[in-house]
Amino acid sequence: MALRSTCPHILHIQQFYEDSLKERAQGSCDSCLAKGPNFWLCLERKCGYVGCGESAMDHSSKHTEKYNHFVALNLKSRRAWCADCDCEVFPNAIVHKEIEALVKTKTVREEVHETIMQQDIIRNPRCSPLYRDSFVSEALAEYLQDETRVRGLTGLRNLGNTCYLNSGIQALSNCPPFTQFFLECDNFITTKKKPYIAQIYKRLMLDIWGRKRHGYMNPNSLVSSFKQACPMFKGYTQQDAQEFLRCFMDRLHEELKEPITSEDDSEEEDERSPHAESPSVERKRSTRSSTEAAYSDSELSNLSDGEGHRTRARSRRHENRHRTISASHVELRTDGSDDGADQDGTPEADQAIVEAETGQGDSPSQLHRTHSHENVTPRLKDNRGKKRKAVKYQSIVSDVFDGKILSSVQCLTCLRESKCKETFQDLSLPIPGKEDLIRIQGMGSNKPNTASCSTSSDGSGWWGWFTSWFSGVSSWLYGPSITLDSCLAAFFSQDDLKGDNMYSCEKCGKLRNGVKISKVQELPEVLCIHLKRFRHDSFSSYSSKISNYVEFPIDNLDMSGYVSEDCSDECKIYDLTAVICHHGTAGGGHYTAYAQNWLNSRWFEFDDTYVTEVEEIAVMNTEAYVLFYRKKSEKAEELRQTVSQLCQQQEQSLIQFYISLKWLNKFNTFVEPGPITNSDFLCKHGAVPPHKAAVVDKLFVKVPQSVWEALHNRFGGGPVVNHLSLQPCLTCQAEIDQLTRRREEELSNFIKLHEAFTNHLSWTGDIYYISLAWFNQWEAFVKAKEQDPPGPIDNKPIAIIKDGYVFNRPGGGSAQISEETWKFLHSIYDGGPEIVHRVSRTAVADTPANDPEEEDVDEDDESTE
């Protein structure tokens, strides 16, 4: 028997018939009569012992130790393990060939090999700039030599109701644009932000996709670190997988984010660089800015309102910094918003659109803009009261998952149109009811045709007539079938603002009837879709689940019918790459994930420690909860082929150019990678950033001139680099040193002044109040926890006005400081308003906070003493 493993112990294994394996799997442990399914079958010749695993008495391990029978087969996953070699083994055959259960046709095998070869060609060490001892190249080469040696099939142990985390991690693990960054670009992951979730996740990905092929792993480090970063997930209660994904990716973004260096950044989010050579790709540099407006309105009737059935997680949504588009297309949330539920249906919510369009009014995010790290104390004094640009950040999370939605509201009286652009990380789609489906169908068939996940029919012949007739009868009896397309149509359908939900038109100065429409302006590389299966009643605390089957396509999800006219994405077609399913009720259940392995294009079910191959039909019939769709394009594959052919040219140019390894990895895994970003290893002065100097030689790849020209002509970007000194930038180092001295000076001066204030037991001077929200930002800056200093002091959230005087708002959110401390901070950061408790005016200062005549401080109010 030809063997395909270096393990010597598989020389002594025996083969079994398929019926025998099924019978043994349904039986019990030979020692303790424990029931399955976690049984291990000893493969030693003339043995055949069936023992229970760790979930019971672990008699299989005891059998191994007693008789030195090292190779065993898991009867559920059908994967073999050698206890002596401590690795997964790959015998040529365990099941007798004459009744082998799964027989792949020649056509399928050829298609899989063609896909693998396309991925491998640009990583070939002889012709590729991307090789560099590539982790992925190793996996590809190994699979091409032996089809059975597939990586990425490692289960995750359930540590007590952590199936929500296991399913989410397995889904993300099988999104190549996301995972291959952690496998290939690990030198970009140098975060110093605790609890180091990015580093822990990177190590987990390296283990899952490593050559050892563990049967399952214990994700204890990731679980504990994540719960430390997101306390709402502490304990062993059941949690929501979608809530986990949002919090987890938000945390990864915070640890991996880097400011986008651009001299001509505009305050307008969507302004493009005038130097962009390829407008169609320049906008793909995903950003996360704190300047985008948000608004919300009432949802469509009869649609699920339950974003999450976990009340505790929902009540702390403000802890998540990322943006989400959810509910019907009118529920938009941004930083700090608590689900938007309090704003639904209010005219003030829509007013944010007008302010964003006209430039009037200041959003809360605009009141907390951050200074560039270039600014030092003297410059701050010279620029008092000036609001600075919001710093835009980018990370692999934003590159892969961020998209943009453009929502417009039009007043039907004056026809004024206001627009709002919103960044989203996932789309939370309502599951339409019967009445909504009928209404959507009545709107006309102007939606794109998506590839159905059911058997297609050309509509001709008796079979086409029969399926059409049967579909009509079923629709009449049970209502129209629910498809992902109908959920998208409900999400993006036009919303009439009338009755209790009228639009507050700034031009008319009153409530008016209006129309709201939302469209996708920028499509993400990986589209994450959340089906809102859970309803939660905040009054009765009653939760329910919508278990209706939603039909979704495996291939060719067409988003072209839901994009705006100015959407510049060339590719609007997606293929499914992973799906998370919830089994059970709103009160309790279990999460599993189905994902397509990018090595062999086959589908697998991930159920905690168990990983089992399944057919596509099994995926189609699942009760999907979160779906991950990845862009696909033949043009992108053709371009990669062209680049690899240029690399194979015998005669190369004498000059080589530098390209960011991070961008090259995007070129290999993205359909639209965007412009070349050599700023990944360069500072704004064109040199090496000091914090990257130690690893800069691992952050770029040298390519021939022909390759550089082909990529630069297609994608633009830069800057052009064909020579690089590996020494750190002296200008950046001087700025860092200056910023360090500033931190030390501000911190020491504050401690000195504040100790004089707190140690004086009979303080008779005036007491000043300062916002804790602003003070916490300043403290994080001086303690080097944040790179950028805070903006101007913002006391507006803690201030109230009465009789022309400004008083501190009771109820917390402020701290007391001395006059000297206030003057010290104010001399650097400016801002206000000044809130003083004067000893000589105690009676006035102690005015009750609930006085009906008191007023909140507006952003345009001048402070008065």
Interval 228-250: pLDDT, tens: 999 999 988 889 999 999 999 99
Q: Is residue 356 predicted with pLDDT exceeding 70? A: no
Give dist(CA 839, CA 767) in Å, integer.
Answer: 8
The mean per-residue pLDDT over the stretch 35-60 comes to 84
Q: How far is CA 778 from each of CA 380, 787, 788, 789, 829, rounded to the nearest angstrom? A: 14, 11, 9, 6, 10
The most confident of the ranges 106-115, 293-302, 427-436 is 427-436
Which of 724, 758, 776 is at the close of a domain?
724
Lowest mean pLDDT among 132-146, 365-379, 558-572, 589-603: 365-379
698 and 715 co-located in one domain: yes
pLDDT band at 349 (very low <50, low <70, confident <90, very high): very low
Q: Is residue 554 predicted with pLDDT exceeding 90? A: yes
Q: Is residue 656 predicted with pLDDT exceeding 70? A: yes
CB 603, CB 615: distance < 8 Å: yes
Neighbours of 745 (CB within 10 A): 13
590 is catalytic: yes
Lowest mean pLDDT among 212-216, 371-375, 469-473, 478-482: 371-375
Which of 669, 696, 724 is at the close of a domain?
724
Neighbours of 369 (CB within 10 A): 19
Among residues 82, 163, 175, 732, which one is catalytic?
163
| pLDDT given at position 350 | 38
Give dist(CA 614, CA 424) in Å, integer.
Answer: 32
The mean per-residue pLDDT over the stretch 177-201 comes to 88
Give a yes or no: residue 616 inside a domain. no
| Percent of the chain at pLDDT exceeding 70 | 69
| pLDDT given at position 856 | 55
741 and 844 co-located in one domain: yes
Rounded to 5°, angle at Cα 244 from 595 and 297: 105
72 and 40 co-located in one domain: yes
796 and 738 co-located in one domain: yes
Q: Is residue 284 predicted with pLDDT exceeding 50? A: no
Q: Is residue 49 predicted with pLDDT exceeding 70? A: yes
CB 362, CB 859: distance < 8 Å: yes
Instruction: Give the tokens for residue 489.
Output: 């149509």
646 and 710 co-located in one domain: yes
Q: 575 vs 321, which has greater pLDDT? A: 575
pLDDT band at 9 (very low <50, low <70, confident <90, very high): confident
| pLDDT given at position 130 | 52
CB 563, CB 523: distance < 8 Å: yes
Q: Is residue 313 predicted with pLDDT exceeding 70? A: no
Give dist(CA 482, CA 618) in Å, integer.
Answer: 18
DSSP 28: B
Q: What is the mean pLDDT of the chain?
A: 75
759 and 700 co-located in one domain: no
Give a yes or no: residue 431 inside a domain. no
Give a yes or no: residue 743 inside a domain. yes
pLDDT band at 95 (very low <50, low <70, confident <90, very high): low
Burial of 484 (0-12, 13-18, 19+ CB in 10 A): buried
| pLDDT given at position 545 | 87
Give dist(CA 151, CA 139) in Å, integer.
Answer: 7
Q: Is residue 736 predicted with pLDDT exceeding 80? A: yes
Q: How far is CA 80 from each of CA 10, 49, 94, 121, rounded to the nearest angstrom? A: 10, 14, 9, 31
Among residues 590, 691, 754, 837, which one is catalytic?
590
Give a yes or no: residue 720 inside a domain. yes
Domain that holds residue 119: 105-140+634-724
| pLDDT given at position 89 | 82
**Segment holding 495, helix H or strand E:** strand 495-497
760 and 847 co-located in one domain: yes
Give dist(CA 690, CA 726) in Å, integer.
Answer: 10
Give dist(CA 560, CA 523) in Å, integer.
Answer: 10
Q: In total, how many domains does the chain have? A: 3
| pLDDT given at position 640 | 86
CA R_g for the chain: 30
Which of 702, 724, 746 is at the close of a domain?
724
| pLDDT given at position 92 | 60
CB 350, CB 506: distance < 8 Å: no
| pLDDT given at position 795 | 92
29 and 77 co-located in one domain: yes
| pLDDT given at position 238 | 87
124 and 54 co-located in one domain: no
Query: Minimal CA–CA distance to 307: which of 532, 581, 527, 530?
Result: 532
| pLDDT given at position 788 | 85
The mean per-residue pLDDT over the stretch 824-851 comes to 69
Q: Which amino acid is at 360?
A: Q
Give dist(CA 173, CA 209) in Å, integer.
Answer: 9
9 is catalytic: no
752 and 780 co-located in one domain: yes
| pLDDT given at position 389 | 60
Give a yes or no: residue 502 inside a domain. no
Lowest mean pLDDT among 306-320, 365-379, 509-523, 815-829: 365-379
pLDDT band at 190 (very low <50, low <70, confident <90, very high): confident
The most confident of the ranges 152-156, 543-547, 640-644 is 152-156
Give a yes or no: residue 321 inside a domain. no
The mean per-residue pLDDT over the stretch 285-297 comes to 34
Which residues, in sequence order, are CB contacts of 654 under 8 Å at separation 6+? none
Query: Minimal CA–CA distance to 856: which of 796, 810, 773, 811?
Result: 796
- Residue recorded with tokens 């915070």: 254
| pLDDT given at position 159 | 92
Give a yes or no: residue 653 inside a domain. yes
* Share in percent of the chain as helix, strand, coil (round to 5): 35, 20, 45
Give a yes or no: residue 774 inside a domain. yes
Q: 11 vs 297, which has greater pLDDT? A: 11
Whether the model pTM is above 0.75: no
| pLDDT given at position 849 | 39
pLDDT band at 837 (very low <50, low <70, confident <90, very high): confident
* CATH number of the domain within which 717 lies: 3.30.2230
The mean per-residue pLDDT over the stretch 371-385 comes to 35
125 and 88 co-located in one domain: no
123 and 59 co-located in one domain: no
pLDDT band at 805 (very low <50, low <70, confident <90, very high): confident
